[in-house]
Chain A
Amino acid sequence: MSALTAHRERPTKEKIGVFVCHCGRNIATTVDTKRVVEEILKHPAVVHAEDYDYVCSSPGQELIEKAIKEKRLTGFIVAACSPSLHETTFREVAERTGLNPYKCEIANIREQDSWVHEDKEKATEKAIKLTKSAVEKVIRNEELEPIKVGLYKKALVIGGGIAGIRAALDIADAGFPVVLVEKGSTIGGHMAKLAETFPTLDCASCILTPLMSAVAHHSNIRLLTLSEIMDVEGYLGNFHVRIKKNPRYVDPEKCNLCNDCVDICPVTVSSEFDEGLSLRKAIYIPFPQAVPSSYLIDLDACLGMNPITCGKCAEPDICGPEAVNFDDQTEIIEEDIGVIVVATGYELYNPENIGEYGADKYLDVITSLQFERLLSPSGPAVGIPKRPSDEKIPKRIAFIHCVGSRDERHQPYCSHICCTYSAKHALLFKELVPDADIYSFYIDIRAVGKNYEDFIRRVQEEAGVHYIRGKVSRIYEQDGKVKIFGVDTLLNKRIEIEVDMAVLALSMVPAHGIEDLASKMRIQIDGSGFLQELHPKLHPVESATSGIFLAGAAQSPKDIQDTVAQASAAASKALGILTQEKISHIPTVATVDTDLCSGCRLCISVCPYGAIKLIDEKAEVKEVLCEGCGACVSTCPSDAISLRNHTDEQVSSMLKALVGEI
C-alpha cells in the first residue's frame, strides 16, 4: 500500500490521455475496452480516456488531436497493436499537434494480449496493467529531439580491387570526393590477373582496365597506392583517418614507362603478379596497364643507392626524366571522411596447409590463380599453358575442387566460385589444347548464378570434361607424372590416375591483415574471418558500425558479378549518407551523471561501439556513437549511467504497474 500512497502524493504536472483501440473485433472480443477506460481514468496522471473502433484511422487520429488540444494533454497512450506497427504513426500525430514524439507510448494489447488469450476477464485485467505501465513510462519520458550532426562529404574506399574500383567510381560519379586506398602498387586486384571471366568469357583485362584508367583520371578520386590505414577515429559522418603511404621510389608523374631501368637492373625475383611463375626485376611495373602507370622499386630486393653496389637505374642516362628517387619517404596522410567502404578482397588459402596435395613440393601441382596466369594471353606462358617443371604443354590435366573449402580442417564454408571457374579453366584449356584429357574431381557442382548452369552444360558438352564425383585424397609426383588418388562415388570405384598437371581450386580466405583493420574500425569479423554484415538479408552491405559499408569478397566469397553488385549497393548506401546535410541519430542514448561516476572504466570495456571515453577521470558518452543498448547502464556499479527514456525509475514503476501495485 505504501507504494500506492507514495504514488498519489507524487506531484505530477503530466496530463495523459489514453486511447483504447477496438481494432474492429480483434481487441474488443477478448478485452473489455470500456472497463480499461474506466480503470485507467483512476490513474492520477490520466485526465482523458476513451475507446474507439480504429484509433489508427483518420477519424481515430483526429480524436487524439482533438483531445490533445482541448485537454492540453502532455502525453498520450494508445492501447492497441504492437508498437512495431503504429508507433511511428502515433508519434507523427504527436508531432503534428505540437507534442514531442517521445511523449507518446503504445500499450500492446493486441499481439501480446487479445490475440493470445481467451478468458475475457483476465485479458482485460492484463490490458489494464499493460496500459498503466505505459502511462507510468510516458510520464517519465523526457522530451527528446533526434541528435543532429554535420558530416564530411567525402568517402574512403579501402581496397582497389574490382569492388573498390566500382564503389569509388559510383561515389565519385555522383559528385563526391573519394579517397581510394590500396595496399599494393596498383589497383585492379585479383581481377587483373584473370584470363577470361565466366560465364560470358569476357577477357578480364578488357573489362577492367577501362575502369582502372577511369579511376586514374577521375577528378573526384584521390588514389593512394602502397598505402595502409593506420587508424580510424570518429563516427558516422565524422571519421578521422590516418593513412600511411609507403614510398614508391619512382615519381609516377615523371616516369614515362621507357623500361630502360628494368633492362639495367641486375636483380631478379619472382613476380607476385604472375603468382611466382615468372621473374621480375627489383625495379618493375606489375603489368603494363597498372594504375598508377609507373614503375616502382622493391626496396627489399634492390641493391640500393650506394654507387659502389648499384644505383644504376637512377643514373641520368638511364632514367631521362629523373623519375627514380631514392629519397622518397613514407608519408602520413590525414583525411576527414564521412563514410567508409571496406573492399579488401580475398586471397587464396595457403596450399602448404594441405600437405596431402603437395602443392609446396611438386612444381606441377599449381593453384587456380597460377593456372589463370598460365591461361592469360599476357601471362608467363604467353597463352598456352605449359607445366612449370619442364615447360611442356600438358595433355592430361586434373582440376581438383573444394581444396580447403567445405573442410572442417581448413575452411568449413563453400568458396562459391570454384565450381564455375574450374569449369571455365577446363573450357579455355580445351580450346587451347584440343586433344587434352581433362578430369574434374568435384563433390557437388554448385553453379549458382545467372546463366551458370548453361555454362556448366556447355563445358560438359564442348570440352568433354570427365567429371568425377569424389574428393581427392592424395596427390604426389612420380616419374614426372602427377598421380591422383581419387574415388568415383557414383560408380563406387577407387581411381588412381596419372596426369601431367593438377590444378587446385583453393578456397578463398579474407585478405591478410583484415582482423587488424577490422579492429581499427570497430567492425565485426564472422566465424570464418570475413567481415560481418549487420543482417544477412536486410542489411547485407552495412557493418554494425554506422557509416562503414562492406563490398566484395571481404564480406564473403563471391564472384565478380556479386562483387560489383555489392560494391554498387555499398556506394548507394554511402551516397544516401553523403547527400544529407545533417545526420540524425536516435536520441535514446546513455547519459552519465558525472557526480556519481567513479571513473572505473567498466562501461568502456562493455560498450560495443567505443562510444564511451574517460575525460577527466569521468565517463563521457559520445552520443552519436551510442546505439542505446544499455550495456553500460546495467554494468555501472555506481548507477551513474542511465538510458534516456529507459531509466531504472521507469522500469521500476512499470514493474509496479504490471503487478497491479499502481
Chain B
Amino acid sequence: MDIGFEPRIIAFLCQWCGYQGADMAGTSRLKYPPSIVSIQVPCSGRIETKQVLEALSKSDGVLIAGCHTPNDCHYVSGNFKCLKRVTLLKKFLKQVGINPARIRLEWISATEGRKFARVAREFTNEIKELGPFDFNGKSSQEIKAKQDSKLRLKEMGGKENE
C-alpha cells in the first residue's frame, strides 16, 4: 500500500564493505529509492547503540551494513561486535514497544552492489508498510526508557565482550 509516504532511512556503512558495496551499486547503475542517505563509519564495530537510536529518533528506519562474518572484517572482529550490539538493541526495542524491524543489519561485501540495491529497495518497502515513525511524539516515557537503558546496554555489551 503506497500512501505517498516517503520513508527516511539512515544507513551506517562500514568503509571497507558496506560503503564499497553501495558504491558498486552506483557503478552498476542499479536503482533504489532516494530515501536512503548514508554515513560512512570506519567499521561496523564502531557503531554505537546510542548512535543507532539517535538515527532512529530522526528517521523511520536504520540500515547497518558491514563485512561478512566470520572472516571479512578488516579489523578482525568488528562485525561480530556489531552483530551482538544490534541483536541486543532489537530485543530492547521490542521491550519498549518499538518494532525491531526498523533496524536492519546486513553483511554486504564490496562486490555486492546488487545486494545493496536489493536490500535498499526491500527495506524501503518494509518501512513504508510500517509507516512513519515518530520517536518524540510517541511518549516521553519511551525516551526515558531509552536513556536509562543506554547505560545498561553498554554494561551488557561490555559483559559479552569479556
A–B touching in complex (CB under 8 Å): yes
Interfacial residues, chain A to chain B (CB-CB below 8 A): 82-84, 108, 110-113, 115-119, 122-123, 125-126, 129-130, 133, 524, 526, 532, 544, 588, 600, 602, 605-606, 608, 627-631, 633-635, 637, 643, 646, 648, 651-652, 654-656, 658-659, 661
Judge whether B32 and A629 touch: CB under 8 Å.
no
Judge whether A117 and B29 touch: CB under 8 Å.
no
Residues of A within 8 A of B78 (CB): 608, 629-631
Once A606-B161, A634-B45 are accepted as A-B contacts, the answer to whether A655 and B23 lie under 8 Å apart by CB is no
Cβ of B30 under 8 Å from chain A: yes
Judge whether B42 and A117 touch: CB under 8 Å.
no
Residues of B within 8 A of A84 (CB): 20, 23
Cβ of B129 under 8 Å from chain A: no
Judge whether B38 and A112 touch: CB under 8 Å.
yes
Judge whether B162 and A605 touch: CB under 8 Å.
yes
Residues of A within 8 A of B41 (CB): 630, 646, 651
Interface 1/0 per residue, B74-85 and A, CB below 8 Å: 111110010001
Give the distance in Å from the alpha carbon of A543 to the alpha carbon of B76 in the complex. Answer: 11
Given contacts A629-B46, A651-B51, A655-B55, could you give 20 more A-B pairs where the C-beta distance is less than 8 Å?
Answer: A116-B25, A116-B34, A126-B37, A605-B162, A608-B75, A629-B43, A629-B45, A630-B43, A631-B46, A631-B75, A631-B77, A634-B46, A634-B81, A635-B154, A643-B42, A646-B42, A651-B39, A652-B51, A658-B58, A659-B8
Cβ of B31 under 8 Å from chain A: yes
Judge whether A111 and B27 touch: CB under 8 Å.
yes
Residues of A within 8 A of B76 (CB): 524, 544, 608
Residues of A within 8 A of B117 (CB): 116
Residues of B within 8 A of A126 (CB): 34, 37
Give the distance in Å from the alpha carbon of A125 to the alpha carbon of B26 in the complex. Answer: 18
Cβ of B10 under 8 Å from chain A: yes
Residues of A within 8 A of B74 (CB): 629
Chain A residue at smallest Cβ distance from B120: A116
Main secondary structure on B side of the interface with A: mixed
Residues of A within 8 A of B42 (CB): 588, 628-630, 643, 646
Cβ of B100 under 8 Å from chain A: no
Q: State how many angstroms separate the Cβ of A330 from the closest Cβ of chain B.
A: 35
Residue from A115, A637, A646, A654 within 8 A of B158 (CB atoms): A637
Residues of B within 8 A of A637 (CB): 151, 154-155, 158
Q: State how many angstroms separate the Cβ of A200 from the closest Cβ of chain B.
A: 36
Judge whether B46 and A630 touch: CB under 8 Å.
yes
Cβ of B47 under 8 Å from chain A: yes
Once A606-B81, A634-B45 are accepted as A-B contacts, the answer to whether A111 and B23 lie under 8 Å apart by CB is yes
Judge whether A110 and B34 touch: CB under 8 Å.
no
Q: State how many angstroms separate the Cβ of A112 from the closest Cβ of chain B.
A: 5
Once A544-B76, A634-B48 are accepted as A-B contacts, the answer to whether A117 and B23 lie under 8 Å apart by CB is no
Give the interface residue-count category, chain B.
Answer: 35 or more
Give the distance in Å from the alpha carbon of A169 to the alpha carbon of B130 in the complex. Answer: 66
Give the distance in Å from the alpha carbon of A129 to the alpha carbon of B10 in the complex. Answer: 12
Judge whether A600 and B48 touch: CB under 8 Å.
no
Residues of A within 8 A of B37 (CB): 126, 129-130, 133, 658-659
Interchain residue pairs with CB less than 8 A apart (22) = A111-B23, A111-B26, A112-B22, A112-B38, A113-B26, A116-B31, A126-B34, A133-B37, A526-B71, A544-B76, A605-B162, A606-B81, A608-B76, A631-B77, A633-B48, A634-B47, A635-B81, A637-B154, A654-B39, A655-B54, A655-B55, A659-B8
Give the distance in Å from the alpha carbon of A129 to the alpha carbon of B59 in the complex. Answer: 14
Chain B residue at smallest Cβ distance from A85: B23
Chain B residue at smallest Cβ distance from A118: B31
Once A122-B34, A627-B75 are accepted as A-B contacts, the answer to whether A658 and B27 lie under 8 Å apart by CB is no
Most A CB within 10 A of own CB, among B6, B26, B48, B81: B26
Give the distance in Å from the alpha carbon of A600 to the alpha carbon of B162 in the complex. Answer: 11
Residues of A within 8 A of B58 (CB): 655-656, 658-659, 661
Residues of A within 8 A of B46 (CB): 629-631, 633-634, 643, 646
Give the distance in Å from the alpha carbon of A113 to the alpha carbon of B26 in the complex. Answer: 8
Q: State how many angstroms separate the Cβ of B162 from the closest Cβ of chain A.
A: 6
Judge whether B39 and A600 touch: CB under 8 Å.
no
Residue from B30, B47, B50, B151 within 8 A of A116 (CB atoms): B30
Which 4 residue pairs are nearest across A and B when measured between Cβ atoms? A630-B46, A111-B26, A629-B75, A608-B76
Residue from A123, A544, A602, A659 within 8 A of B34 (CB atoms): A123
Judge whether B10 and A655 touch: CB under 8 Å.
yes
Residues of B within 8 A of A635 (CB): 81, 154, 157-158, 161
Residue from B10, B26, B71, B158 within 8 A of A82 (CB atoms): B26
Residues of A within 8 A of B155 (CB): 637
Q: State how many angstroms separate the Cβ of A229 from the closest Cβ of chain B.
A: 22
Judge whether B29 and A115 touch: CB under 8 Å.
yes
Residues of B within 8 A of A82 (CB): 23, 26
Give the distance in Å from the alpha carbon of A606 to the alpha carbon of B85 in the complex. Answer: 13
Judge whether B27 and A115 touch: CB under 8 Å.
yes
Give the distance in Å from the alpha carbon of A651 to the alpha carbon of B71 in the complex. Answer: 27
Give the distance in Å from the alpha carbon of A116 to the alpha carbon of B116 in the complex. Answer: 11
Residues of A within 8 A of B158 (CB): 600, 602, 635, 637
Residues of A within 8 A of B34 (CB): 113, 116-117, 119, 122-123, 125-126
Give the distance in Å from the alpha carbon of A646 to the alpha carbon of B48 in the complex. Answer: 12
Residues of A within 8 A of B71 (CB): 526, 532
Q: State how many angstroms separate the Cβ of B7 from the closest Cβ of chain A.
A: 12
Residues of A within 8 A of B75 (CB): 608, 627, 629, 631
Judge whether B31 and A658 touch: CB under 8 Å.
no
Residues of B within 8 A of A656 (CB): 58
Q: State how many angstroms separate the Cβ of A535 from the closest Cβ of chain B.
A: 9
